[in-house]
């Protein structure tokens, strides 16, 4: 099967990548990369960064504050997060 993403899909993917690179809390990423247990504050910091982007309820229905992302956007968001976290076997 061949999957071709649209230009808008690729733009969204690039936006996710930029978020992970520039806005994801570096101290949380450091702990995740090194197998260090996350604290409650680390989780709060992570959720604040996602919330500030407007992506907190990305999988929620729009009427409850969700993003309204398409299935392709959900796929790209989850895939890029897994790659960012070093989980290359997805």
Please provide the distance, in angstroms rounded to a whole number, between the alpha carbons at the two ends of the chain: 17
pTM for the whole structure:
0.82
CA atoms in the 13 A half-sphere facing the CB of 63: 0
What is the domain count for the chain? Answer: 1
64 located within any domain: yes
Q: CA-CA distance, 44 to 33, in Å (whole number)? A: 18
What pLDDT does residue 15 have? 96
20 located within any domain: yes
1 located within any domain: no
What domain range is 27 assigned to? Answer: 13-84
Question: What is the tens place of the pLDDT at every residue in 17-37?
Answer: 999 999 999 999 999 989 999
Q: Which residues contact 69 (CB under 8 A, 6 or more apart)?
A: 58, 77
Q: CA-CA distance, 28 to 73, in Å (whole number)? A: 24
CB contact at 8 A, 43 and 24: no
Instruction: Give the model's confidence band at 87: pLDDT under 50 very low, under 70 low, under 90 confident, else very high.
Output: low
45 located within any domain: yes
Question: What is the tens place of the pLDDT at every residue in 64-76?
Answer: 989 999 999 999 9
Query: Given a cut of 50, is residue 90 above it in pLDDT?
Result: no
């Amino acid at each position: 099967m061949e999957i071709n993403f649209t230009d808008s899909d690729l733009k969204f993917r690039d936006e996710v990548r930029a978020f992970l690179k520039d806005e994801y809390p570096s101290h949380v990423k450091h702990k995740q990369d090194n197998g260090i247990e996350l604290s409650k504050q680390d989780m709060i910091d992570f959720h604040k960064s996602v919330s500030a982007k407007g992506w907190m309820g990305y999988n929620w229905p729009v009427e409850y504050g969700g993003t309204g992302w398409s299935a392709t956007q959900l796929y790209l968001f989850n895939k890029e997060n897994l790659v960012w976290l070093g989980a290359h076997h997805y």
